Each structure stands twice: as structure tokens, then as C-alpha cells.
Structure 1
Amino acid sequence: MKDFCAVCGVFNHERATYLTYLALFSLQHRGQESSGIAVYKENKLIVYKNLGLVTQVFSKEILDALDSNIAIGHNRYSTTGDKDIKNAQPVVYQNVALVHNGNLKNYLELRDLCKKLNITLETSSDSEIILKLYVYYKNLYKDIKKALIKTLKLLKGAFSILILDKDTMIVARDKWGFRPLVIGKKNSGYIFSSETCALNVLDADFIREVSPAEVIILNKSNFENFLYDTPCPKYCIFELIYFARPDSFIFQRSVYKVREEMGKILAQESFVDADVVVPIPDSGVISALGFSKESKIPFEWGLLRSHYMGKSFINPTQELRDLAVKLKLSPVKDVLKDKKVILIDDSLVRGTTAKRIINMVRKAGAKEVHLRISSPPIKHPCYYTETCGKEVFWQIIFISYLFCFNRFF
């Protein structure tokens, strides 16, 4: 199971559940299949999760029932596997809850290990494996810290994890720091989130990022942090290119500024005489602004997006992605007709969506259409990303090189 999701948690705040709900809402772009919250209340773990958007899953009555001063939450989007409630998080085992954003490279090895340890697995989720290994070693060592170090050292791959173990919250990030994870503060409460945009919504102060290989253990009497391994930062560039919200600050960088600079460099490297610069919304907008500033070619909204649609890239099948493009984007003919148009997008994954958009712009009367991609060429496959297997990644690499030599479209 490959997950590129949103995680968040609030510790020691009287409105922790409601703040977690708002954080999940602000992180909806990271996953739209399911949402869930776990709390520790009156000496018991309570979890509610369901399929749908955050506002569809949680009502006021549900949030009131979950009211607590400690909570963790998760948004998931579908990559592999059926759209099923069993894949929703938080995952729960022996009164412990876990939320996870990432993908484990050694998933099959860990399944074999669980079998040797007589740990029964009920799903194909690597999140379940992490949780059950942690609980197993906690029961074995009778020590949370030892159990965490043992478990985390077994994991190879990307993970940003929050665990709720009674009134203790645990936060951990892989030694590479593939996925973003930040720390905020609101009054006396700590807030953890995949992105800083959630902290902005909660009017919380951004403290810092959780460091690669860092583990944080919080309870009523203690805030302890340590490194479970030697940090080796290798951040996921796709977060900055596409996935994170432009108003977030991750990997010590402003997402907005990174995308704007990509657009400026793109204009320097791939200038073409044209009448308008048109972004493919929403992820191409900031790079298009940078391209327009650098090239002095006017920026225009030649394509409008319906914000009632989610990300077409997130849809797990090609049929759904094609349908989503038609429903999501609409050309503005008065902007495009008889114009030489530069279309700017953040990345090219399969090329299928781009082809449909180019045809849409041509049908709207554009004289010329020039596609420009702000992402640098991908030279090597990555196995920690979204709905892309090995074959698709080699396609991306091939297409990237075609773009380098201006032989595509």
C-alpha cells in the first residue's frame, strides 16, 4: 500500500479534536478518499473514520463525542487497493492508534517478519505493520523508547508517523525526511502537521520541522526527543513541485517561492515568442506567474478550474483521470482565440492529461500551443511516490529527456 497522505496531531489543548478537524480540512489537498480522527478520552481510545471528504465524514455531533485534549488525524487518497473503509486511518491495535504518511520499501520483508513473530495482519497496509510491530516490541521490552527504536530501525522507506498510546503522543520521521512534518505551538498545546498551512489556519506558531530520524514522545510530564538513527536528508522534490500547498513552508523553503523561481528559470531556458502565458490550474499557477514575470509575456487565465473537483492526478484509474479533466477544466475562448499560447504546468507524469488539455486549447481557437513544464527532468526512478509503478516512472524519465531536446508535442 502506497500512501501520500496528510497527518496531524494536537497535544495538550482543550479543543484538540476541533483543531485536528480544522487541520485536516486545510490538508484536504493531500487526500480525498477518507478521513479519520483518534482521541484518548476518559481512559479509553475512541476512533472515528469514514470514506469521504473531511466535511462529509465529521459532523458537529461526531466532533462533540470525540472532544478531547489529545488527538491525531489522517486524510488518505487512493493509490493502490480498493476504495474501502478498511484502508482508512487511523489504524488501531490493542488500544493504540497510528496515522502514517509514506511508503515502505521493505514491505514484503516486514510481512515475513510479522509471520515469524506470529503477528496477524488483516490488511495489505504498511501502516498496520508499523503499528503491530511497535505494539509487539512494547509488550516485549515494557519500554516505549526501546520499542520505537527497534521498530523504526526495521523500516526502510518514507514515513511520517503519529501514534496515540493512551495519553502519550509519539511523533517520528524517517531518517531521509522524505515527507514533510512540522511542529507548531498554540498556547500550551503542541501541533504536528504535514504542512505549515494547517498551522496558519489554526493561528498557531510555527516552531520548526521535525528533523529527519527524530522521535518525539509527549505525555503529561515530559517532552522527550531523540534520534533513532543517523539523519541523511533526501527530501521529496515532488512536494515542492506539486503536492504541497503554495502557502506552506517545508524543507526549509517557501513552496510559493520555489515554484515561482522554477517558472523564471523555465522562461530563461525555454523562451518562445507568444501572446499569453496560461497556467494549467491549480498547480501550474505559481510557475506561470514566474514565467510571465521573467519573459514579460502577459499572464492570463485561459483555463478555469471547477473547485468542486479534486486533483485528477490522484484518481487511481486512467478512465477516472480522463473524466476528471473534462469536468475540472474549462477554456476561456476570448483569451485563447487567435493567440499564441504558452501553457505552463508543474509536471508531466503520464502525458495523457496534458494531451487532452492541449486539444481543448486548440479547439478554443488558439493559433499556437507551446507546453512548458516547470519541473526539472526526472533522471532516476523513485519508489516512494504516488500512483506510479516502475513502468510509469521510466515513461516519465523518457518524456523528460524528450522535453530536454524539444521533441515532444
Structure 2
Amino acid sequence: MSTSILPGERPDRLEEECAVFGVFAPGEDVARMTCFGLQALQHRGQESAGIAVGDGETIMVSKDLGLVTQVFDEARLAALEGFVAVGHARYSTSGAAASWEAAQPHISAIDETLIALAHNGTLVNTNSLRARLIDEGIQLRAGTDSEVAAKAIGNVTQKTHHLREGIRYAMEHLQGAYAMVLASPDCLYAFRDPNGIRPLCIGQLPDGRGWVVSSETCGLDIVGAEYVRDVEPGEIVRFSKQGVTSEQGVPAAKRASCIFEYVYFARPDSIMDGQSVYQARRNMGRILAREAPAEADLVLGVPDSGIPSAMGFAFESGIPYSDGIVKNRYVGRTFIQPTQ
């Protein structure tokens, strides 16, 4: 999702906060379901959108620059037939180049088998791994850390003939924040960095029809899936026709959730780590009123993510709350645009 960054060269800006979505549901229209999920997660990325679908034999991918509704129409969705899918909506960093190659899911070949990877996060040590892959004759086109992860998983899987070993290798060698969903032609995998920095949750479709993995619970809601639990830090979860299996890919480390999810990025109706995002923002405003009281006539919220905090501040301080800033509802989320 981004060009890799050397340790110590951290940029003074928000980094990758993308949307990932996965479905394993034989007999269901998984492409359409993934499209709905990505629309619910559109606030996480507006630059590009993509869906990859496995039908048991191979994987087809469709992706392009633009919003989900701009990239996918009825014809595109109808062409994506299968029972396992992964989707991605990309947000790029300031100054990052928009390109089709950087759009996800990333495709990697393991002999004659394809895998599709969608990644939310930032990896900080991909330079050495990229150099190692290039030395082994593996071509890298996108120049993103997500592509490096996909190629590393595919390279090791090709040697061991076990996809979970490829995933485990990547988890052992990649440093940084990642929440990933991966589709093989017949299985869905979900895995998360050992600190649990980026969110990733699991839901089940009604009547046991299948499973859904989403960056936020609002992605589960839109397809009627019931929240089951989060993917645990360092965990690998596999969904297949044989059932759901879980194993610890790497040991869990100290929990370090991304605070910006609660402050700004997540949708207020999502639940993260068992906490309502809306309530967390409202509580932040209440705490702010106690720690930094102000003499004022009105409390105004900055749409949209600042409104719950402003309401909490007003409630705790006793200062009246009022609307004072109006957002244009016909434009997207401006803060995550790559340029001014």
C-alpha cells in the first residue's frame, strides 16, 4: 500500500488506513457481498478498489482507481463467480502515486496456483526482504510493502507446499502494522500483526451460510453477518469447506491498538476491542472538559468524527452544544486524499 520506509524515517503524516474485507460462503454471491462490504468501509480508502474471487480452481481479480461504486458495476460483479473473495479499498499517503499496480488485492503465483492478498497497514522493514526476493529472481512491479508481503508468502509456499507456512514466514519476518486477508482458490485466510495495531474482525452469516472478515464491524452489518470475535494479534484464521481453524502464527506481543482509529478513522457505529467507537469519542470529549475546561458560549463539533467528542465536552461542561460547521455531503472524505 505504500513504498517502504526505513526505520527512523517516519513521516510526519497519517499512514495507511485502508479497508480489507473477505468472504467464504459457498453458494452465495461473494463478489456482490464483498462490494457491499467495501462500500460500508469506503471511509477507509477512496483511491482505488478491488475484489478477487476464487472458484476452487483459480482466482479472478478486478480492480481499478476510483470509489467502489465507480469501479464495480453489474457486469464486473457478474464476471466474478466463486465462493471465496477478498476486497480492498485503498487510501494512499500524501505524495504517493496513484497507480493500477498499487491497487489491491495483490496477486501472486505459486506454480500454477494464484493467491490474492489485501493488506491494511504499514511495514517498516521491507527493503531487505525486497532485495532478497529480487536476488531470487522474483519481479516486483508495484513497489509497495503489500506486494512484498504477497510475493514473500508465495515464494515460501512454493518451497514448502503449505500456504500457512508461507503466511507464518511473512509474519515472522515482517515488522510493522498489518491486518491481512488472503484468498487461495478454495480458502480464505485472515491474520494480524502481533501487536494488534490494525483492526480485523470475524462475522458469521445467518444459518451458518458462511464467514466474513472485515476491518470494522460496520462491514459485517451491511451483509447481515453477526459479529463473532476479533482476529487475535499474531493469529492465523483459515476458512475452508472443512471448517474454521485457528493457530498462532507468531506469539502475541504487547497490545498496541491504533489510537487514530478511535479519534478519527473508524466509523462511529463500529465496535473495536469491545468498545463502541462513538462512545469512545464521546468519552474523550468528557475527559477533555475535565482536564482542560474552557470559558465559552457554545461547543461546536467539526463534522463528522469530531461531533461525538464535542457533544461529550458540552455534556460534561454544561456549555450548550450547537451545529456551526456544515460539511458538503456530496464530496468524499477529504483528509485522506493524497494531495490538497
Q: TM-score, normalization: structure 2?
A: 0.90
Q: Secondary structure at the match of 1:303?
A: coil
Aligned residues: 318
One of 76, 89, 113 as aligned partner of 1:75 = 89
1:159 match: 178
1:42 shift after superposition = 6.4
Distance in 2 of aligned mates of 1:88 and 1:97: 12
2:163 match: 144
Q: Secondary structure at the match of 1:71?
A: strand
2:215 match: 194
Q: Please tell me the residue identity of whatever aligns with 1:6.
A: A
Q: Please tell me the residue identity of whatever aligns with 1:268.
A: R
Q: Secondary structure at the match of 2:101?
A: helix
CA RMSD after TM alignment: 1.3
One of 148, 153, 164 as aligned partner of 1:134 = 153
Q: Please tell me the residue identity of whatever aligns with 1:174.
A: D
Q: Please tell me the residue identity of whatever aligns with 2:227.
A: F
Q: Secondary structure at the match of 1:87?
A: coil
- Contact kept, 8 Å, 2:56 with 2:186, in 1: the verdict is no
Q: Secondary structure at the match of 2:140?
A: coil
2:74 match: 60
Distance in 2 of aligned mates of 1:207 and 1:314: 30
- Contact kept, 8 Å, 1:160 with 1:180, in 2: the verdict is yes
2:25 match: 12
C-alpha change, 1:250 and 1:300, in structure 2 (3 Å) is same
Q: Secondary structure at the match of 2:202?
A: strand
Q: Please tell me the residue identity of whatever aligns with 2:48.
A: S
Distance in 2 of aligned mates of 1:241 and 1:67: 38
2:62 match: 48
| 1:226 is the counterpart of 2:252 | no
Distance in 2 of aligned mates of 1:303 and 1:309: 15
| 1:281 is the counterpart of 2:303 | yes
One of 172, 183, 197 as aligned partner of 2:202 = 183
1:218 shift after superposition = 1.9
2:230 match: 209
Alignment map for 1:79-118 (pairs within 5 Å): 79=93, 80-94=95-109, 95-118=114-137
Q: Please tell me the residue identity of whatever aligns with 1:10.
A: V
Alignment map for 1:254-403 (pairs within 5 Å): 254-317=276-339, 320=340
1:100 shift after superposition = 0.5
1:290 shift after superposition = 0.3
| 1:245 is the counterpart of 2:267 | yes
Name which structure has the greater RCO, CA cutoff 8 Å, separation 6+. 2
| 1:3 is the counterpart of 2:22 | no
Distance in 1 of aligned mates of 2:330 and 2:147: 32
1:252 shift after superposition = 2.4
1:244 shift after superposition = 0.5
- Contact kept, 8 Å, 1:18 with 1:67, in 2: the verdict is no
1:305 shift after superposition = 0.4
1:115 shift after superposition = 2.4
Q: Please tell me the residue identity of whatever aligns with 2:141.
A: E
Q: Please tell me the residue identity of whatever aligns with 2:85.
A: A
> Which has more helix, going by share of residues?
1
Q: Secondary structure at the match of 1:305?
A: coil
Distance in 1 of aligned mates of 2:83 and 2:162: 24
Deviations 1:101-160 (A, max 9, x none): 011010212212212332221121111111111111111011222222122101101111
- Contact kept, 8 Å, 2:54 with 2:81, in 1: the verdict is no
Q: Please tell me the residue identity of whatever aligns with 2:313.
A: F
Q: Please tell me the residue identity of whatever aligns with 2:91.
A: Y
C-alpha change, 1:136 and 1:166, in structure 2 (3 Å) is same
Distance in 1 of aligned mates of 2:247 and 2:215: 20
- Contact kept, 8 Å, 2:53 with 2:61, in 1: the verdict is yes
Distance in 1 of aligned mates of 2:307 and 2:177: 28
Structure 1 range deviating more: 29-38 or 63-72:
63-72
| 1:32 is the counterpart of 2:54 | no
Q: Secondary structure at the match of 1:103?
A: strand
Distance in 2 of aligned mates of 1:285 and 1:36: 31
Show structure 1 runs of 4+ deviating over 3 A.
none
Distance in 1 of aligned mates of 2:234 and 2:86: 20
**Aligned residues with identical type, % of pairs:** 40
Q: Please tell me the residue identity of whatever aligns with 1:120.
A: Q
1:49 shift after superposition = 0.5
Deviations 1:66-106 (A, max 9, x none): 13321110000121521111111111121211100011010
Q: Considering only CA atoms, is the larger Rg found in Structure 1 or Structure 2?
A: 1
Distance in 2 of aligned mates of 1:147 and 1:78: 27
Distance in 2 of aligned mates of 1:242 and 1:183: 22
1:354 match: none
- Contact kept, 8 Å, 2:96 with 2:338, in 1: the verdict is no
Distance in 2 of aligned mates of 1:200 and 1:4: 20
